[in-house]
Chain A
Amino acid sequence: MDKFYYDNRIARMFAFACITWGVVGMLLGVIAAFQLAFPALNFSEYFPHLAFGRLRPVHTNAVIFAFVGNGIFTAVYYAIPRLLKTPMWSKALGRIHFWGWQTIIVLAAVTLLSGFTTGKEYAELEWPIDILITLIWVIFGINMFGTILTRRERHLYVAIWFFIASWVTVAMLHIVNSLEIPVTLFKSYSMYAGVQDALVQWWYGHNAVAFFLTTPYLGLMYYFLPKAAERPVYSYRLSIVHFWSLIFLYIWAGPHHLLYTALPEWAQSLGTVFSIMLILPSWGGMLNGLFTLRGAWDKVRADPVLKFFVVAVTCYGMSTFEGPMLSLKNVNAISHYSDWTIAHVHIGALGWNGFLTFGMMYWLIPKLFKTQLYSRPLAATHFWIGTLGIILYAIPMYWSAFRTYFMLSSFTPEGQLQYQFMDVVQTVIPFYILRAIGGTIYLCGVFVMIYNLVKTAQSGEFVAEEEAQAAPLAKNYVAPAGSIWHSFIERKPILLLVLSLIVVGLGGIIELIPTFLIKQNVPTIASVKPYTPLELQGRDIYVREGCYNCHSQMIRPFRYEVTRYGEYSKAGEFVYDHPFQWGSKRTGPDLARIGGKYGDSWHFNHMLDPTSMAPGSIMPSYPSLFENSIDKVTTRSKIHAMRQLGVPYPDGYEAIADQDLDKQAKSITDKLKTENKIEIASDKEIIALIAYLQRLGKDIKAEAPKLSNQ
């Protein structure tokens, strides 16, 4: 028998980080939610860094990578050593992993608020941080595999499979989606453009949900649920089928985020079919979780941990039923760009991730401090507050989504659109307020938990090193006769890793490669030309301010969209868009064909005070754009980077790009002066942004401006 010690310190560190960042992430969400209802809360004149467009990515990144991320690591560092009867392979790597991850989170918050962003949802972090993430992820992987390879338990429990598959898939997704060309220290352009960028992004985005928010948390469920229920999982066989079919299917489903867009039709259908099939493994897993409590439902009444787990698993079931439904084209027509998506992800985030995390904490903290939970009634109160918060969050969002759809798609008998976009904005504000209240209530529940857990910790004594004993693995092991399965994969973690990678790689390869290689998938439109230097600078301002968080640039082929926004979008229109800016939510109207719709002065006044041009608007104002100068130092490297990416700027254009920029800027300011009596220096950022907005969607009308040398 070997005697060894489990290191509880690292689990405690991750648990504390998880709760701390959870509060931060949720608080930012609440603030962002109130900003939508009360635009004054953007405080644009004082803190341009806190406008919704910059805050919302910090909220999503904080909740996904800081709250859930640290939740995953808490579970991994607690469960893996115990399941494998060995301490983590390296204490030092664990510490590097912990501090590295927290550094990434802080850097993420600072850079995103400062406007350094790639403009790709949930992958907004710029290239130096992307590299740091890769390094820390590898360190985490080395530590995890080191532990697995030095284990004292021959069998790998299914939770570990989920952790392994999550690790390898997240690595693959992160690397492929983050391929970008650096322009400056904190600015890069995505390697892909337009349709291809969109496909890679949503292949990543969907699977960030799958392999960051779902599979590692399933590992957590398969470990902590049986522990809390004090009985093994309902069916271990089912858990294996759950694992393999889930990771196989998930990776294909990304294109369901791009239904009715300019993505090739066959890729959209593929996404839909695999999304529908996902119901089976997901519900298999949900039922496996719930059935684990068979004969133990009396415990659920008394034990807050199980209460949280039951609602979490139920929310998993609800989300994974809703997800496939949303990927049906006719349902997606209603839900896409609407608050339905927001409701859907929050059932997952608040219900599944949140409640599973809370359940884990209520179970884990008393164990780490060798004591009992300070107050069960208080935990039950948290449970009810949280549940109420989720309900009050979700229902207004569903309501708002349907209301929005019915209003936007209705025509008068004469064939005119019945409502202006602003009518819709006005009508959903009360729902935004209710949602923000729901979120606040949920956050209050978290504070109740923190109080309870602090009291628990104070009442006990922290067990830094937990003693355990186990026999080392026998060297000359012979698998029992007839257990082909057992010797094939169960005992071979590296093979498991490789097989997982093949299974998740398949979907990516079949979906991505044809879209990349084949001309037919992205038909060329001769009149689509590269952006002028001024427009390019303006586009980068658009990305920096996170306009894509509320505005799409993708008109779907529906009568009510074409009438409202203009000709539907074509794949060939986006070939120079590094990154694509199709967006996923329309809190404001689509901008794909905004170019030429209004005069320059309209945009000028609108950015200064949106309500002056659009009464009732909830958009933040952007006074800083009228003070900051265009960063012309970067024009040269931006044009150069774009050419490297295949954008056909003439040779040597870098050298004269700024002349073109000045000329175009002057023509805009001159026009503003003569036609509208507006005086502004032509080097201000607002001019670049106007130039970009006025270009949008014009190319297929063959009105693209000419570059010098052309």
Chain B
Amino acid sequence: MKFSTYLEQIMGVSIYPIISLLLFVVFFVLTTLWVYSIDKKTLEEIEKLPMED
């Protein structure tokens, strides 16, 4: 039940923040592209949903 000491050390740990940053940038760009691919009619339909009742 002890969590540490399975590995002695972690090689090139400085790459971790870079990997995470890249992951996010790619994710963000894809999301943005995806969002702009929505056709306007669908969008208008959805954004009016709270007004319907």
Q: Which A residues are within 8 Å of any B CB, using their own CB?
A: 79, 82-83, 85, 153, 155, 157-159, 181, 191-193, 196, 222-223, 226-227, 230, 232-233, 236-237, 240-241, 244-245, 248-249, 252, 264, 266, 269-270, 273-274, 277, 468, 480, 482-486, 490, 503, 506-507, 510, 514, 516-522, 575, 644-646
- Top 7 nearest A-B pairs (CB, nearest first) are A646-B2, A520-B9, A232-B47, A236-B47, A157-B49, A519-B5, A516-B3
Given A517-B7, A645-B2 in contact, is the A240-B31 Cβ separation under 8 Å? yes
Q: Is the CB of B3 within 8 A of A232?
A: no
List chain A residues, Cβ under 8 A from B41: 480
- Taken together as a complex, chains A and B put the C-alpha atoms of A241 and B37 apart, in Å, by 13
Given A270-B20, A510-B16 in contact, is the A518-B4 Cβ separation under 8 Å? yes
Given A157-B46, A241-B32, A248-B24 in contact, is the A484-B37 Cβ separation under 8 Å? yes
Q: Which chain B residue shows the least CB distance to A195?
A: B4
Offer 17 A-B interface pairs, CB within 8 angstroms, sorted by A.
A79-B50, A226-B47, A232-B50, A241-B31, A241-B35, A244-B28, A248-B28, A249-B24, A252-B20, A266-B13, A266-B17, A270-B17, A270-B20, A485-B37, A503-B27, A520-B8, A644-B1
Annotate B31-53 by CB proximity to A: 1 below 8 A, 0 otherwise: 11011111101111111111111
List chain B residues, Cβ under 8 A from A226: 47, 50-51
List chain A residues, Cβ under 8 A from B45: 155
Q: Is the CB of B20 within 8 A of A510?
A: yes
List chain A residues, Cβ under 8 A from B21: 273
Q: Which chain B residue shows the least CB distance to A482?
A: B39
- Taken together as a complex, chains A and B put the C-alpha atoms of A519 and B2 apart, in Å, by 12
Tell which of A245, A468, A484, A485 has the most Cβ of chain B within 10 Å.
A485
List chain B residues, Cβ under 8 A from A230: 51
Q: Which chain A residue shows the least CB distance to B15?
A: A266
Min distance, Cβ B45 to any Cβ of chain A, angstroms? 7
Q: Is the CB of B4 within 8 A of A196?
A: yes
Q: Which chain B residue shows the least CB distance to A252?
A: B20
Min distance, Cβ B1 to any Cβ of chain A, angstroms? 5
Q: Is the CB of B20 within 8 A of A274?
A: yes
List chain B residues, Cβ under 8 A from A517: 3-4, 6-7, 10
Q: Which chain B residue shows the least CB distance to A514?
A: B10
Q: Is the CB of A83 within 8 A of B34?
A: no
Q: Which chain B residue shows the least CB distance to A466?
A: B53
- Taken together as a complex, chains A and B put the C-alpha atoms of A153 and B49 apart, in Å, by 9
Q: Is the CB of B51 within 8 A of A468?
A: no
Tell which of A159, A181, A506, A518 has the most Cβ of chain B within 10 Å.
A518
- Taken together as a complex, chains A and B put the C-alpha atoms of A510 and B37 apart, in Å, by 31
Min distance, Cβ B49 to any Cβ of chain A, angstroms? 4
Given A266-B17, A514-B10 in contact, is the A480-B51 Cβ separation under 8 Å? no
Q: Is the CB of A245 within 8 A of B28?
A: yes
- Taken together as a complex, chains A and B put the C-alpha atoms of A277 and B50 apart, in Å, by 30
Q: Is the CB of B46 within 8 A of A155?
A: yes
List chain A residues, Cβ under 8 A from B27: 244-245, 248, 503
List chain A residues, Cβ under 8 A from B5: 519
Q: Number of B residues whose C-beta is below 8 Å from A?
A: 42
Given A155-B45, A485-B34 in contact, is the A468-B19 Cβ separation under 8 Å? no
| A233 contact from B2, B39, B47, Cβ within 8 A | B47
Min distance, Cβ B12 to any Cβ of chain A, angstroms? 10
- Taken together as a complex, chains A and B put the C-alpha atoms of A316 and B14 apart, in Å, by 33
Given A274-B20, A645-B2, A646-B2 in contact, is the A232-B48 Cβ separation under 8 Å? yes
Q: Is the CB of B17 within 8 A of A486?
A: no
Min distance, Cβ B38 to any Cβ of chain A, angstroms? 5
Q: Is the CB of B9 within 8 A of A519?
A: yes
| B31 contact from A82, A244, A490, Cβ within 8 A | A244
- Taken together as a complex, chains A and B put the C-alpha atoms of A388 and B14 apart, in Å, by 47
List chain A residues, Cβ under 8 A from B7: 517-519
Q: Is the CB of A273 within 8 A of B17?
A: yes
- Taken together as a complex, chains A and B put the C-alpha atoms of A196 and B1 apart, in Å, by 13
Q: Is the CB of B4 within 8 A of A480?
A: no
List chain B residues, Cβ under 8 A from A223: 50
Q: Which chain B residue shows the least CB distance to A193?
A: B3
| B16 contact from A193, A270, A480, A520, Cβ within 8 A | A270
| Apart from the given pairs A277-B24, A519-B5, 9 other A-B contacts in the complex at a CB distance below 8 Å | A82-B53, A191-B3, A244-B28, A245-B24, A270-B16, A503-B27, A519-B6, A520-B10, A645-B1
List chain B residues, Cβ under 8 A from A249: 24
Q: Which chain B residue shows the least CB distance to A234?
A: B47
Q: Is the CB of A240 within 8 A of B35?
A: yes
| B50 contact from A227, A237, A483, A514, Cβ within 8 A | A227
- Taken together as a complex, chains A and B put the C-alpha atoms of A530 and B35 apart, in Å, by 55
List chain B residues, Cβ under 8 A from A277: 24
- Taken together as a complex, chains A and B put the C-alpha atoms of A278 and B9 apart, in Å, by 30
| B10 contact from A506, A507, A518, Cβ within 8 A | A518
- Taken together as a complex, chains A and B put the C-alpha atoms of A71 and B24 apart, in Å, by 31
Tell which of B10, B16, B27 has the most Cβ of chain A within 10 Å.
B10
Q: Is the CB of A516 within 8 A of B4?
A: yes
Q: Which chain A residue shows the least CB distance to B46?
A: A155
Min distance, Cβ A85 to any Cβ of chain B, angstroms? 8
- Taken together as a complex, chains A and B put the C-alpha atoms of A483 and B45 apart, in Å, by 13
Q: Is the CB of B8 within 8 A of A518?
A: yes
- Taken together as a complex, chains A and B put the C-alpha atoms of A159 and B47 apart, in Å, by 10
Min distance, Cβ A477 to any Cβ of chain B, angstroms? 13
| B38 contact from A79, A266, A483, A514, Cβ within 8 A | A483
Q: Is the CB of B16 within 8 A of A159?
A: no
List chain A residues, Cβ under 8 A from B37: 484-485
Q: Which chain A residue shows the least CB distance to B14?
A: A266
List chain A residues, Cβ under 8 A from B6: 517-519
Q: Which chain A residue shows the least CB distance to B5?
A: A519
Min distance, Cβ A227 to any Cβ of chain B, angstroms? 5
List chain B residues, Cβ under 8 A from A233: 47
- Taken together as a complex, chains A and B put the C-alpha atoms of A158 and B7 apart, in Å, by 43
Q: Which chain B residue shows the least CB distance to A194?
A: B4
- Taken together as a complex, chains A and B put the C-alpha atoms of A227 and B43 apart, in Å, by 17
Q: Is the CB of A245 within 8 A of B31?
A: yes
- Taken together as a complex, chains A and B put the C-alpha atoms of A230 and B5 apart, in Å, by 58
Q: Is the CB of B46 within 8 A of A236?
A: yes
Min distance, Cβ A426 to any Cβ of chain B, angstroms? 43
Q: Is the CB of A237 within 8 A of B43?
A: yes
Q: Is the CB of B36 within 8 A of A237?
A: yes
List chain A residues, Cβ under 8 A from B16: 266, 270, 510, 514
